[in-house]
Structure 1
Amino acid sequence: MTGNIHFTASQAPSACNALVELVARYGNAPSDKADVVVALGGDGFMLQTLHAMQGRDMPVYGMNRGTVGFLMNTYSVDDLPERLAAAEEAVINPLRMRATCANGTCHEALAINEVSLLREGPQAAKLRIYVDGRLRMEELVCDGALVSTPAGSTAYNYSAHGPILPIGSEVLALTAIAPFRPRRWRGALLPKAAEVVIEVMNPERRPVMADADSRSFRHVTRVEIRSASDIRHHLLFDDGHGLAERLLREQFV
């Protein structure tokens, strides 16, 4: 397997140094000839790598050369082929976002973690929420709202007091960000197949941006979100430290 590993690294010095070490030890197969991609960096770089590998159906194994590294494994130069051979695989589907802007343009993007709507100005956003074509919330006054996958539920979603979702739970989290009215509403758990439509009320006075894994679009008026079941990302984790275990462990810290 050592000849079928493709290494890629972020621009961080620690990641670049790790790339030199690993390539010297194991070589570096071209990405189109590789069986596995090893990504060196942090969680943000892992998301970039997964997006870049979309449609390749190739597993990605991360080693942490960043800060948090929730999606990454511990860095070590030794025993990499053995670690890869014993690794646990997690398969995740991203979210597909379609955002309509005030000027009439439409934009599509994919999000492995979450799709979020955030106020752009000093005034709170006013949002109207539909689930599967049915109006569920007439008016949510807030700093924003997000829809998260299980894989992304420990990120922005958790910071906004949303629930951590077990991997494979077939649900999405709809979470309010700093809600003002209804003041105590913290969100909802939705079936994975649900389509969420969020409309922006008074977009001229209360502008809102939409973000899908750091791809942002300003002055949106309507955002449609659903799981992209036709796209599968394969993440590899060291044996005994899989994504399901990490999501469970995170609830007890």
Structure 2
Amino acid sequence: MTQKIAFVASDAPTAQIARAALATRFGAVPEAQADVVVALGGDGFMLHTLHATQDLDVPVYGMNRGTVGFLMNEYSESDLLERLAAAEEEVLNPLVMRAECVNGETHRALAINEVSLLRAGPQAAQLKISVDGHLRLEELVCDGALLATPAGSTAYNYSAHGPILPIGSDVLALTAVAAFRPRRWRGALLPKSATVRFDTVDPGKRPVNAVADSLWVENVLWVEVASEPSIAHRILFDPGHGLEERLLREQFV
């Protein structure tokens, strides 16, 4: 049976041109009527598409019309139907972030890659870190800290010298960004079931922003992060090029 395909694209001209060509060649339906969504762009647009389609229970197959394309497959127009039929599915559970700001506002957001806290002023952030209600780090003076999923462990986490996590592992990476004190703290590996809380110290003097993937929350007082197993993002990869293979390959380059 022929799959009903929805094509979505980033604003990049190459992505828009590809979307028009594919829709003309294979036909297109709205996302709500699709058996599969084909996303054209880079990794940022893939994250956007996964967030946008999370209530549809439809898999997303990405083709790279951006830069890095870690979450994307190679772009090819002619054999799309065959590739979709052979694609292998990975299921990703996002993180849920709850944050309270200094002004009393509260925010909730989901993150597929990571939740990060970043200093918002000239002075380093000062954070307290608790895990499952137990204070584990009394003082972390740093440019920031983040909690990453396995799928996001090769993104900001890796550039901050955090570990690459095997896909499917029930582990989260807690990583500091440019830690000043304690100087030798290398972060922590936590069970997927853990709830991590970051409390800011002296936010008036040392303001901190929180980011869930690309959603910003300014001047936070505290942030709690936990995995959200009730939400499952379905992402498709060409055989032999799934996330497990990509995560392994990243460690040998």
| TM-score w.r.t. length of structure 2 | 0.99
Aligned pairs (5 A) from 1:101-250: 101-250=101-250
Q: Aligned-pair RMSD on alpha carbons?
A: 0.8
Q: What percentage of aligned pairs have identical amino acids? A: 70
The alignment partner of 1:248 has SS state of helix
Counterpart Cα distance in 2 of 1:227 and 1:68: 26
Counterpart Cα distance in 1 of 2:96 and 2:208: 19
Are 1:50 and 2:50 an aligned pair?
Answer: yes
Matching residue's letter, 1:23: A
Counterpart Cα distance in 2 of 1:103 and 1:17: 45
Structure 1 runs of 4+ aligned residues shifted over 3 Å read: none
Unaligned 5+ segments in structure 1 are: none
Contact 2:8 2:39 in 1 (8 A): yes
Q: CA deviation at 1:2?
A: 4.6
The alignment partner of 1:147 has SS state of strand
Contact 1:3 1:28 in 2 (8 A): no
Count residues in correspondence.
253
- Seen in structure 2, the aligned counterparts of structure 1 residues 3 and 93 have a Cα distance that, compared at 3 Å, is closer
Q: CA deviation at 1:55?
A: 1.6
Counterpart Cα distance in 2 of 1:214 and 1:170: 24
Counterpart Cα distance in 2 of 1:172 and 1:55: 24
Aligned pairs (5 A) from 1:16-95: 16-95=16-95
Counterpart Cα distance in 1 of 2:32 and 2:81: 19
Q: CA deviation at 1:57?
A: 1.1
Counterpart Cα distance in 1 of 2:154 and 2:148: 9
Counterpart Cα distance in 2 of 1:156 and 1:168: 19
Unaligned 5+ segments in structure 2 are: none
Q: CA deviation at 1:3?
A: 4.9
| TM-score w.r.t. length of structure 1 | 0.99
The alignment partner of 2:31 has SS state of coil
Q: CA deviation at 1:56?
A: 1.2
The alignment partner of 2:146 has SS state of strand
